Amino acid sequence: MRFRLALKVDRAQGDLLPLSYQYEQSAVIYKILSRSDRDYSSWLHDNGFKLERGKRFKLFCYSRLIPDRYRIVPKAGCMNLIGDGAEWTIGFLPEKSTEHFVRGIFADQHFTLGNRDYRVDFHVTHVELLPSVPLEPTMEWEAQSPVCVKEHAGDRTIFLSPEAPNYAEAILQGLLSRYESLHGHPFAGNTSGFRFELLSPQPKSALITIKAGTPQQTRIRGYRYRFRLTAPAELMHIASEGGIGEECSQGFGYVEPLIKD
């Protein structure tokens, strides 16, 4: 399920938002989800989240903010929100109880995004359930937030470009792992026809700062691009509602169907 939040900009603390705000978005989602202990516990129980091999999948992803109007302030590393509104889309893989829970828990919320130097207050004015994306065996998509795919070589973490030869296999394994976490068992279908095809001639690299200004500060690289995906319907659904790649719950891998010119 995907929800679009309509936001009103509150300038009480300012109107400059750091360009790396994805981690703060994740913190806002966690805070709002857990605000009602009873509803949150019921939602987790209904959807039967599983812990497998020590790895936990959060099973949601989200877009960047889409402000009405803004301008980039390069020297400050910020965007100046000129308009009074913005939109934010959040996708949840679990279906049970999700619409009622999300509408109730996100409606009329106030939250802050930013760091110690620059931050903006927002007010959720409307929560809209978006229609499900009609799924086909082969679909073209656009990454609305950077897609992160990693591999480890000793102590080093390597962020793969979508042009890397093992990139498609990493995308498939990520979808299979998320499917298993959601359903509690491995995917039993045929994945021999899985295909990932890069459509963008020049994928856009983005280096995102996580936990900026803290001892835990780190940077994650992802890529934005257009791509064609051939996959079983169950895995296509995972991509549509839960994103692709890694770190989806940190602001990476949110995709939408490609709107052709």
pLDDT digits (tens, 9 = 90+) for 64-88: 999 999 999 999 999 999 999 999 9
pLDDT band at 44 (very low <50, low <70, confident <90, very high): low
DSSP letter, residue 50: -
Distance, CA of 200 to CA of 143 (rounded, Å):
11
| Residues 6+ positions from 55 with CB-CB distance below 8 Å | 177, 181
Report pLDDT for 51: 44
What pLDDT digit, counting tens, does each position of 239-255 carry?
A: 999 999 999 888 899 99
What pLDDT digit, counting tens, does each position of 100-155 carry?
A: 888 888 999 999 999 888 999 999 999 999 998 899 999 999 999 999 999 988 88
What is the CA angle 62-75-73, rounded to 5?
Answer: 50
Question: What pTM, to 2 d.p., does this model score?
Answer: 0.86
Torsions phi, psi of 155, nearest 5?
Answer: -90, 0
**Radius of gyration from C-alpha coordinates of the chain:** 18
pLDDT band at 49 (very low <50, low <70, confident <90, very high): low
Distance, CA of 171 to CA of 242 (rounded, Å):
13
Question: What is the helix (H) or strand (E) element at residue 23, kind and residue range?
Answer: helix 22-33
**CA–CA distances in Å: residue 48 to residues 42, 54, 152, 221:** 10, 16, 30, 31
Q: Which domains does the chain have, with CATH numbers?
A: 2-129 (3.30.70.1890), 138-257 (3.30.70.1900)
Name the one residue in this structure whose structure tokens are 């009622």: 100
End-to-end Cα, the chain, rounded Å: 26
B/e letters for 42-59, b = 16+ CB within 10 Å, e = fewer, are ebeeebebeeeeeeebbb
What pLDDT digit, counting tens, does each position of 178-223 carry?
A: 898 888 889 999 999 999 999 999 999 999 888 777 788 889 999 9
| 230 within 8 A of 135, measured Cβ to Cβ | no
Q: For 123-190, what is the HEC assignment?
A: EEEEEEECCCCCCCCEEEEEECCCEECEEEECCEEEECCCCCCCHHHHHHHHHHHHHHHHHCCCCCCC
pLDDT band at 54 (very low <50, low <70, confident <90, very high): very low
